[in-house]
Structures are given as C-alpha cells and as structure tokens.
Amino acid sequence: MKFRQIAFSLAAMTTIYHVSYAQQTGNETLPAKANLQQLIDYALSNKISLKQAAIDEEIGEKDIDIALSGWLPQVNANGSYNYNVKVPTSFIGGQNIALGQKNASALTLQADQQILNPALMQASKAATLIRQSNKQNTESQKINTVVEVSKAYYDILTSEEQIKIVRENIARLQKQYNDAKVRYEVGMVDKTDFKRAQIALSNANADEKRTIELRRYKYDYLKNLIAVDHKVDITLSFENANMENQILIDTTSSASVTNRIEFQQLETSKKMQELETQYYKWTYLPNVSAFYNYAFNYRNNKFKDLYNDNFPSSVAGLSVSIPIFQGFKRKHQINQSKLRESRIDLSMEDLKNQVNTEYALATASYNANLIDWKTSRDNVDLSKEVYDTIKLQYDEGIKTYLDLMTAETDLKTSQLNYLNALYALLSSKLDVQKALGTVDTK
C-alpha cells in the first residue's frame, strides 16, 4: 500500500476551484468514475435545494414585477343594469316630474395612473435588495453543497482504502493461518498458534463485511447529496499525483466576517429593514393619482329600446388622499421598525463572535489533525518495518506467533489510523475554508 500516493491523491481533491454552475440546464449525465470536480458540478446542477433556490429567484422576480405593476396605468371596465320599479319623482315648477326611466344601463371605462404612492415607492427601492437576497440564499446553498459533497467524497475514498487495507490484512492472515495449520499438523507447534490465526482471520473477514456495509451507506448518502436516484450505481475515481502541498492551508490569517455569506445576508436584511422604516415615514405623504373615465349611459322606459340611445359622459381629474391622523399608528410603526434594525445589528455582532469562535475551532482542529496525520504517516513506515522484521524472525523460529500477531495488529492499526487522520485533515481544511468564507463556487 503506497500511503503517500493516497495522501497526495486525496489531498488534490481539497482544491475546490473553477466549479461550473449549470443550474439552469441541469440533469446532465454523471460520468462513470466521476472525480470530485464532476460530482460538484453535477450537484450544483441537480441538487433539489439548489433547484428550489433557483425557483425562489424566479418567484422573487415575479413578486417584483407584481409590485411594480402598480406604476403602470390601471384600466377597468364596469357595467350595470337597473330596473326602476318606482321611478323617483321631484316637484319642479308646480309639477311632479319623473327623474329617470324604467330601464337604465351604463358601461364605464376608467384609467388610473399613480403619481405619488408610498407603497410603490418602497417597491421600487426594494427590487434590488430582493434580488440580492435571493442570490445570496442561492450562494449559501452552493457553499454548503460544495463542502458536503467534498466531505462525502473523501469519506468514500477513505472507506475504499480501508477495504484495501483490510483485504491485505486478510491475505497476510490467511497465509499465517495456512502456515500455522501446517506446523500444527506436522507437530512442530501446539494448536494455540493455529487457533489464534483462525480467530484473527475470522475477525478480519468480519471487519471487511462491516466496512463494505458502511461504504454502501456512504454511497447512498452521496447520491442523496447530488440528487442521483438511489437505484443508479455510481463509481468514483481519483488520479495519483504528487500534490502533498495541497493539504496545507494558511491558518495564520484572521477571519474576516464580511467574507461570510451569512453576514452578507444580514447586511441585506438590515438594508431592507431600513427601507421599511423609510416607507413608514413616506406614509405621511399624500397619495396622488390621475384618472380618466368615459361612460356609455342608456335609459328608456321600454327594455327593447334601451340601447337605442346613448347619453355619454366623460371625466378627467386628479385624486389626492391625505392621511391626517391615524391614532399614532405610523409613529409606532416607525419606532417598531427601528427596533428591528437594532435587533439585526445585534445579530450581526453576534455573528462576528460566532465566526471568530468557529474559525478558532476550525484552525485548532486542522492543526491538531495535521500533527496526527504526520505522526500516523511515520508510524505506518515504522510498523511496516517492524512487521517485516518480526515476520522474518518468526519464520526462523526466533519470535513467537504472538509477537507476529502483535506486529500484524500494529501494522493494520497504523494504516487505518493514517487514513482516518487523513480524512480528518481534509475535512478540517474544508471547515477552515468555510470559516474564512473562501469556498469558491464560481
């Protein structure tokens, strides 16, 4: 097992750059033996939450169009028909004169144009912020997707290498079992070595089955992340390359909260709340609109002759509505909105503290895992050397079988510790990138 090659190849996958986001097209085929880059591309195009985020952006655009449509002329048509059971009369010039006729009908067309309207003023100002908020929500989903898919990918590769280690261990134990059995059968040793070899081989076979079952779950989890049907088989690959330097990341820089998408979302929320405060101030302004209507009026005592004659009318003018007193409602709304602004300010301050803590934890975990990885890498070489030496001494009858089993266990343990440390290192590097806000999804 060339553990340094495993380290180099897995480390190469930590570089999460140049991710092409094809969300609008989507549903492209996942290639056979997909690498991390291809998995991320596929997930960004097909993951359900990202598709929902894209729909949310479209819904937001429709909301903006709906809100801004109030600035366009509003044209309405109204029709009516009335039958006057008793025609009203009025006493004029000493005579009772009927004011109307039995049948009356009207069709009115009216166009209204808003000139000054606080709600529409707010809608115009909010359009940009709504678009920005929806895009930030999509970006947050993309960042989480890149990190989750990367970790799942590393986890699967770790399991694949663990299975290789276990199978190499089984091969060694099978040979030891066969040798111990022959020695027992020819009377060179008692059955103790043979039984110990049998127990160790059974345990190794059980480890292989357990690891394979866990790997099956990890593949299903990855399928769920990238929105692949669970019945579809997927295969992964990675190229061996000397890229050990890709494991490293600079942990001396300080975290900038402004790089975090969560902080950017709060900034957008603050701007929207400030706009709401401004809207409540605008409500002191009058509503001003222009209107024009044209009416077709028909009346006749006989229904069959109702629409023979038209008595049209037309009116144009301005409408002004001035809200004078509303029980201090607007004053309370302004104060309430300002309190919400203050609450968002506190959320931003709290997020700054959280980011600093998160970054401190991520860097501490990364540095600790880096030490573990280096130690476990050296231990693999040492344990392999010890095993080879004791195996030769056992074959020559110098060492006991118990010594050989101990060396075998130490070798397998150091190999598995190496893989676990490598996965932890790669995972913690992603956590550092996320804490710094440097996960690139473009």
pLDDT in tens, 192-237: 877 888 888 899 899 999 999 999 999 999 999 998 988 888 888 6
When pLDDT is cut at 50, 70 and 90, the band that residue 32 belongs to is confident
* CATH number of the CATH domain containing 13: 1.20.1600.10
Least confident span in 34-43, 46-55, 188-197, 384-393: 188-197
Residue 278's pLDDT is 96
Predicted confidence (pLDDT) at residue 240 exceeds the cutoff of 70: no
Predicted confidence (pLDDT) at residue 257 exceeds the cutoff of 70: yes
When pLDDT is cut at 50, 70 and 90, the band that residue 125 belongs to is very high
Which are the contacts of 146, defined by CB distance < 8 A and separation ≥ 6?
16, 19, 40, 44, 439, 441
Residue 28's pLDDT is 65
Residue 253 lies in a domain: yes
| Summary mean pLDDT of the chain | 86
Decide: 106 and 50 in contact? Cβ < 8 Å.
no
Biggest CA–CA distance in the chain, Å, is 146
Residue 174 lies in a domain: yes
Residue 239's pLDDT is 56
- Compute CA 238 distance to the chain's CA centroid, rounded to the nearest angstrom: 25
The residue ranking higher by pLDDT, 126 or 100, is 126
Residue 253's pLDDT is 76
Residues 175-200, mean pLDDT to the nearest whole number: 80
395-437 pLDDT per residue, tens: 888 888 888 888 989 999 999 998 889 889 988 999 999 999 9
Residues 239-245, mean pLDDT to the nearest whole number: 43
Residue 206's pLDDT is 93
This prediction's pTM: 0.81
Residue 304 lies in a domain: no
Predicted confidence (pLDDT) at residue 8 exceeds the cutoff of 70: no
> What percentage of the chain carries pLDDT values higher than 90?
57
Residue 373 lies in a domain: yes
Residue 246's pLDDT is 59
Least confident span in 104-108, 155-159, 283-287, 365-369: 155-159
Residue 305 lies in a domain: no
Least confident span in 51-65, 168-182, 361-375: 168-182
The residue ranking higher by pLDDT, 257 or 235, is 257
Predicted confidence (pLDDT) at residue 242 exceeds the cutoff of 60: no
Q: How far apart are CA 124 and CA 315, in angstroms?
A: 30
When pLDDT is cut at 50, 70 and 90, the band that residue 188 belongs to is confident
Residue 219's pLDDT is 93
Total domains in the fold of the chain: 1
Range of the domain at 31: 3-78+116-286+326-436
Predicted confidence (pLDDT) at residue 49 exceeds the cutoff of 70: yes
CA angle 326, 329, 334 (to 5 degrees): 135
Decide: 225 and 43 in contact? Cβ < 8 Å.
yes
Which are the contacts of 440, defined by CB distance < 8 A and separation ≥ 6?
16, 17, 18, 19
Residue 306 lies in a domain: no
Residue 297 lies in a domain: no
74-90 pLDDT per residue, tens: 999 999 999 998 888 88
Predicted confidence (pLDDT) at residue 19 exceeds the cutoff of 70: no
Predicted confidence (pLDDT) at residue 272 exceeds the cutoff of 50: yes
Q: How far apart are CA 205 and CA 166, in angstroms?
A: 8
Residue 116's pLDDT is 95
Decide: 204 and 174 in contact? Cβ < 8 Å.
no
Residue 431 lies in a domain: yes
Residues 254-279, mean pLDDT to the nearest whole number: 93
Predicted confidence (pLDDT) at residue 50 exceeds the cutoff of 60: yes
Decide: 414 and 383 in contact? Cβ < 8 Å.
yes
Predicted confidence (pLDDT) at residue 11 exceeds the cutoff of 60: no
